[in-house]
Chain A
Amino acid sequence: MEAYHPVRHSNRLQKFITRFLQYFILAIVVVIIFVPIVILIFGSLKTTGEMYSHPYTIPNPPHWENLTTILSTPAFWRLLRNSLVLMLATTTGVVLVCGLAAFVFARLDFRGKGLFFNLFTLGLMFPINVAILPVYFVLRQMNEMGIHLIDSLVGVILVQIAFNISGNIMILRGFFTAIPSELQDASYIDGCNNFDFFWRILLPLARPALAAVAALTMIVSWNDLLVPLVVLNSDQLWTLPLGTMQFQGQYGQDLALVSAFVALSAIPTIIFYLFAERQIISGLTAGAVKG
């Protein structure tokens, strides 16, 4: 205890230095995060000529032409609309499908439950990046049988839902099992059947979990390039990432224009992120830590 007093001064200095170093390092990381984004934004506010003559300065004055050009082409809004439709449909589908299935796994018991659950676990090891070629074969086969899923948004939606099932069932199951079983017992005593318990008690309680799953799925679907790339042909159906890829391939030399396009296409994502950050993070950490 005698050691306390002399230690106090150097302790405070030490703490200050540590804090300073921490903030310094964190600040550097923040800069590293922002550099690509800032360069992109600068590029989008310059004319192409300026990109060559003054590539790294702040655009002064900012030229909005590239942005307005892109915003006034109907193709851009078509991309947005397709991405939006896709995102909403996939998210609704995933929440519904996984919610129902996770409920069954979490709160009910039946023969073969373990088997079915392991089946879904298998899906975690067959991610879409690996499965895209096999899935393409199946879509082709269905096309030959008359079910036209190729070059259709429905095809993309179904495939996206299918490949988001495994992970989200895990996440939801984790949340659902955390609900105390006394609630379930009590509801049975009150005369509810399983469906009532699901609809009236579990779902309202599980709202944060469902929101988390929804937020995650929205991000995944909005950013998905691979499935639309393989399934869609007609440029009327292209989604935003696909359109970005095509735009860059076509106008790659016009750095300012491409920067403008990429910046514009990132805005919806950022806005969504700022609103739904908590849901996204809770979904990810729940799935990862418990899964």
Chain B
Amino acid sequence: MSRKTYLILSVLLIVSFALTACGAPAATQAPPAATEAPASTEAPAAEPVTVTWWHITTKDPGLSDWQKMADDYMAAHPNVKIEITVLENEAFKTKLTTVMQSGDPPDIFQSWGGGTFNQQVQAGLLKDITADLEADPTWRDSFAPGALGVYSFEGKNYGVPWDMGMVGFWYNKALFEQAGIAAPPATWTEFLGDVQKLKDAGITPISIGEGDKWPGMHFWNYLATRICGQAKFEAAMARTGSFTDPCFVEAGTKLQELVALEPFQNGFLGAVHDDMQAAFGNGKAAMELSGQWAPSTQAANSADQKGIGDNLGLFGFPAVEGGAGEGTDVVGGGNGFAIGKNAEPEAVDFVKYLTSVQNQTTIAANGSGIPVVKGAEAGLTDPNMLQVQQTFAAAKYFQLYYDQFLPPATGSVLNDSVQGLFAGTLTPEQVAQAVEDSVAQEMK
């Protein structure tokens, strides 16, 4: 018996070796007819260089577009090999932190800026590229300054953005019509009323993936921004104020009002982000609170790969009556490339290529983000994405989503606590207190 087992195993081994050899990955093969040779500022080094790149665009068209950009670059720079690792959002966060622990970060990797980014800088894990930006003013000035600032710490740059947008309510126009809602709600009261109308029409009002926790955090984030305003939040962060201020508790109370209406899809507490996008993309829910990545992920996760097409609309988070915040305040964020401390100059050069106007226009066109480089917004043809970009540009106060802005431990506490609000296991006071305690400990 054991001999037979070993025989089978040897056969398997040989077969799998052979197949791996035959099916050599095509990642490093140069595609034919590159559109435009990437601008390379310095003469390519003679020795081969490997650049590792981790990103989280798991679906097409973004996935293939990134690959194509890498392939084009490698074609123009034969000595550079770009190894791409694509990970899903949650898996990426975990893997990245593990790798940071061993002090060996990837050369280029996905970053949202904020508290996590700052911690990485302070631990010496990122490369200071201020000099590279200074040496190429065209490149540096091509970025929207606010966006570039997200990836800097104490005046020095450690990464560059490629996408910056905002979170808002994506809605299904057809379903709204079906429920008899003439126009998107402008205030919180109108919003709750619309939720009720949708329920009465037998439509699931909101799709949410609270299993991942951060989708729900956006609700609390916006409510806090609307009710407390910029001043109170910044005071709490500066430790001159506190997160136990009644306005933050009020944010939780308002959220409870919404949850009490039972507006979410079945199983929302265990649903992940992809489930949320799928439910909306398949037309099973009327609204979702999500960011500029929503349209492309809705399509990618829907059964027909198209999402809800022309029925997709966007309205900003409603104003809360009596709140200290402005209705134009925007909560959002984006994506950027952080540069790891061991990165070679070729990595920085590749990132320069990735953020060129032409490639940024591709990003605009494929809907995976809102470009941050001047001139690329010409690629934004989708009216919804244009609306995002314009609302973002018009906002006086832009807040990076709390779970990225706050120190990582606090972000984690916030996400967990807000999930407790959705599940009815925590009170608004407890949520506010938990955040306050964590901030106090992290910022001491």
A77 in contact with B20 (CB, 8 Å): yes
Give bound CA distance, A268 to B86, whole Å. 26
User: CA–CA, A249 to B8, complex, Å?
Assistant: 31
Q: List 6 A-B contacts (CB under 8 A).
A: A74-B23, A211-B2, A234-B85, A250-B86, A253-B275, A275-B8
Min CB distance B73 to A, Å, is 20
Asked if A81 contacts B16 (CB within 8 A), the reply is: yes
**Contact among A230, A235, A278 for B98, CB-based, below 8 A:** A230
Give, as a whole number of angstroms, the nearest-CB distance from B210 to chain A. 16
Give chain A residues whose Cβ lies under 8 Å from the Cβ of B301. 253
Bound complex: CA of A234 vs CA of B50, how far in Å? 13
B24 close to A74 (CB less than 8 A)? yes
B2's partner among A73, A151, A214, A235 (CB-CB below 8 A) is: A214
A:139-160 near B, CB below 8 Å? 140, 143-144, 150-151
Q: Mark A81-111, 1 if CB is under 8 A from B, else 0.
A: 1001000100000000000000000000000
Total number of residue pairs linking A and B with CB closer than 8 Å? 83
Take A230-B98, A276-B5 as given contacts and tell me if A77 and B19 are in contact as well, using a CB distance cutoff of 8 Å: yes
The interface of chain B, by Cβ under 8 A from chain A, is 1-2, 4-5, 8-9, 12-13, 16-17, 19-20, 23-25, 58, 85-88, 90-91, 95, 98-99, 101-104, 272, 274-275, 277-278, 301, 303-304
Complex-state Cα separation, A276 to B12, whole angstroms: 15
Q: How far is the CA of A211 from the CA of B4 in the complex (A)?
A: 12
Closest Cβ of chain A to B383, distance in Å, is 26
Q: Mask for A58-81, Cβ within 8 A of B = 1, else 0?
A: 000000000000001111011011
User: Given B9, B87, B99, B278, which contacts A253 in the complex, CB threshold below 8 Å?
Assistant: B278
What residues of chain B lie closer than 8 Å to A48, measured between beta carbons? 303
- Which 6 pairs between the two chains have the least Cβ-Cβ distance? A74-B23, A249-B88, A211-B2, A253-B301, A250-B58, A81-B16
When distances are taken between beta carbons in the complex, the residues of chain A under 8 Å from B1 are: 211, 275-276, 278-279
Seen from chain A, the residues whose Cβ lies within 8 Å of a Cβ on chain B are: 48-49, 52, 72-75, 77-78, 80-81, 84, 88, 140, 143-144, 150-151, 207, 211, 214-215, 230, 233-235, 245-246, 249-250, 252-253, 268, 271-272, 275-276, 278-279
> Within 8 Å CB of B9, what residues of A?
84, 88
Query: Bound complex: CA of A233 vs CA of B109, how far in Å?
Result: 14
* Chain B nearest CB, measured from A193 CB (Å): 28
Q: Evaluate whether A52 and B303 lie within 8 angstroms (CB atoms) in the complex, with A272-B5, A272-B8 already known.
A: yes
Contact A271:B8 (CB < 8 A) given known A74-B25, A249-B91, A279-B2: yes
> In the complex, what distance in Å separates the CA atom of A146 from the CA atom of B147?
39
Q: Which residue of B lies closest to A52 (CB)?
A: B303
In the assembled complex, which residues on chain A have CB atoms less than 8 Å from the CB atom of B99? 233
Q: Which of B23, B90, B101, B103 has the most CB of A within 10 A?
A: B23
| Cβ contact within 8 Å between A84 and B274 | no
Contact B24 A143 (CB under 8 A): no
Residue of B nearest to A277 (CB): B1
Residues of B within 8 A of A81 (CB): 13, 16-17, 20
A246 contacts across to B, CB distance below 8 A: 87-88, 91
- Within 8 Å by CB of B272, from A49, A78, A214, A252, lies A252
Bound together, the chains give a CA A233 to CA B87 distance in angstroms of: 11
- Expressed in whole angstroms, the Cα–Cα distance for A34 and B213 within the complex equals 34
In the docked arrangement, what's the CA distance between A78 and B19, Å? 9
Given A250-B58, A272-B8, A279-B1; A78-B274 close (CB under 8 Å)? no
In the complex, what's the smallest C-beta–C-beta distance from B396 to chain A, in angstroms? 38
Q: In chain A, what residue has the closest Cβ to B101?
A: A140
CA of A268 to CA of B8, assembled, Å: 10
Q: Are B91 and A72 in contact (CB under 8 A)?
A: no
The CB with the most chain B CB atoms within 10 A, among A72, A88, A235, is that of: A235
* B23: nearest chain-A partner, CB-CB: A74
Residues of chain A lying within 8 A (CB to CB) of residue B16: 77, 80-81, 84
Query: With contacts A74-B24, A250-B58 known, what are 7 further pairs, Cβ within 8 A?
Result: A49-B303, A74-B19, A74-B23, A81-B20, A84-B13, A88-B13, A143-B103
